Amino acid sequence: MPLTRNEAWKIILAVPGAENRLWFNQPSGFLHDRFLAKVHHKEEAVTLQVGSMEMRDMMLEAEPELFYITDHYRNFPFVLIRLTALNKKVLQEIVAGRARQLAEMPPPKRPKKSGKKKSAAPKRKTAKRPG
């Protein structure tokens, strides 16, 4: 039986450690400060980031009835997973596999915050006109 958007969302957030965050103004599942998956806001699909473009292409070729992309994702390592082709067990396995990959990755690099507050732009000195 196909999954609903709500059921898919619950499965994504059921991954231990998963958090609900906004990403491009859309509710998304994050794990270890990295994007995991989300229910697509327009397509009847789950958006999943995969490890590489090569992995994405293999998935698209191996199971085109399950995985697809739109032009928007053509240059990025993401697949869309059709809700109509999903069941609870399949999505749980896919998301758990991606969660294992994310757990093995080093934490994302974040810019260090300096302790100094940024001050307002310095005031310009105005030259005095001669006499």
Task: Evaluate whether residue 99 is within a structural domain.
Answer: yes
Q: How confident is the model at residue 116 (pLDDT cuts 50, 70, 90)?
A: low
- Structurally, the chain folds into a number of domains equal to 1
Q: What is the mean pLDDT of the chain?
A: 86
Task: Evaluate whether residue 109 is within a structural domain.
Answer: no
Q: What is the average pLDDT across 12-36?
A: 91
| C-alpha–C-alpha distance, residues 73 and 81, integer Å | 13
pLDDT one-digit tens code per residue, 37-90? 999 999 999 999 998 999 999 999 999 999 999 999 999 999 999 999 999 999
Task: Evaluate whether residue 67 is within a structural domain.
Answer: yes
Question: Nearest to residue 66, comparing CAs of 54, 79, 82, 50?
Answer: 82
pLDDT (0 to 100) of residue 25: 85
CATH of residue 40: 3.90.1150.30
Question: Nearest to residue 18, comparing CAs of 5, 31, 37?
Answer: 31
Task: Evaluate whether residue 117 is within a structural domain.
Answer: no
Task: Evaluate whether residue 122 is within a structural domain.
Answer: no
Instruction: List the end-to-end C-alpha distance of the chain, in Å, as a whole number.
Output: 88
Q: Which domain holds residue 79?
A: 5-104
Return the percentage of the chain with pLDDT > 90, whole number. 64
User: What are the angstrom distances between the C-alpha of 45 and each of 4, 24, 38?
Assistant: 9, 17, 9
Task: Evaluate whether residue 47 is within a structural domain.
Answer: yes
